[in-house]
Amino acid sequence: MKKRVGILTSGGDCPGLNATIRGVAKALYQRFGEDVEIIGIINGYSGLINGDWRVMQPYEFSGILTVGGTILGTKRTPFKLMRVMGDDNVDKVDAMKKNYKDMKLDCLLCLGGNGTHKTANLLAEEGLNVIGLPKTIDNDIYGTDVTFGFHTAVDIATEVIDRIHTTAGSHSRCMVVEIMGNKAGWLTLYSGIAGGADIILIPELPYTIDNVCAAIEARAAQGKNFSIVAVAEGVYDAEEARMKKKERAAKRAEQGYTTATNRIAKQIEKMTGFETRVCVPGHMQRGGSPSAYDRVLATQFGSYAAKMVEDENYGITVAMKNNHVGENKLKDIAGKSRLVPESHGMLEVARRMGISMG
């Protein structure tokens, strides 16, 4: 009897999803040959809920190592809604379990971030054979040193900051660059250091605008005619850090700013007199071909997941720990995030280089 392996990609897209799908598929075909069928589930958990899937052919996994996005499509299906009955009166958990059985799956591979892993753990607790693979440009999945997609996003964000330097210097401006990262500052921290940002603001370290402006004015006093501020999209100032989410939103609405980045730019301009502009690379940070690092990492993760299928080791997610690929139990990592700790060495590197953290 053929082994039937389902694969889905859920949540935001990122470079390396296709490389990971390819890694899984090639390793499975290498081990099982014609005794394995790979079932592609379309648009993540939405496809699993609605029964949108197809049997994939080996040729479909060729030529996708360098391709960005995901050949399976993806949608955001929030974990908090998984047990909430919608207008369609569909019990999502029951529907996923039914379609898993209808597809005659031996196991299901779920490629995604924190929300994806919470749903993967839910399905594992419901008795399904599940393996997770950690994807996110935010690098914030608990229990793994790195996620595929992160290094490529760092490269892209770094190039943005690189290119901002010349226009900032030419116009004697302060440039505020918004980097993705709602709760975790890894992407902003690494790209900020790599791109030579003068100020780096991340969600884990609430800033004060006085400190930000003081750093800009100190550079001006040294004869520097521009400054680059790398801002994670989810940053808070010290006052907001003490507020609840709704209170923060109300405060920003009252002030007329939808994002922290725009507010920071206006405050800098008002307090320092420096002409200030905002740059938002946005979803470009998710797009395009994965870097060589992420292609290798995706292949490592994919091949390891295939080994777990062979060993029938389920209820786990693949992880990189101290430069070795291994796994964590889904129940141990679901619902947890890996944030930048105050003692992290890269923060010390930034400060020794004279970078202000706000």
Catalytic residue among 13, 106, 138, 294: 138
Residue 6 burial (CB < 10 Å; 0-12/13-18/19+)? Answer: buried
Do residues 299 and 312 make contact, with C-beta atoms less than 8 angstroms apart?
Answer: no
Q: Is 138 a catalytic residue?
A: yes
Nearest partner of 199 among 218, 223, 180, 172, judged by Cα: 218
List the structure tokens of 71: 């050949």
CA 212/CA 210 separation, integer angstroms: 5
Distances (CA, A) of 211 to 67, 68, 214, 230, 256: 42, 39, 5, 14, 22
Can you read off the two tokens belonging to residue 315?
């209820």
> What size, in residues, is the chain?
358
Residues 6+ apart with CB under 8 A from 175: 164, 167, 168, 226, 227, 228, 229, 276, 277, 278, 279
Angle value at C-alpha 136, between 290 and 32, nearest 5 degrees: 70
- C-alpha dihedral over 153, 158, 164, 166, to 10 degrees? -150
Active-site annotation, residues: 138
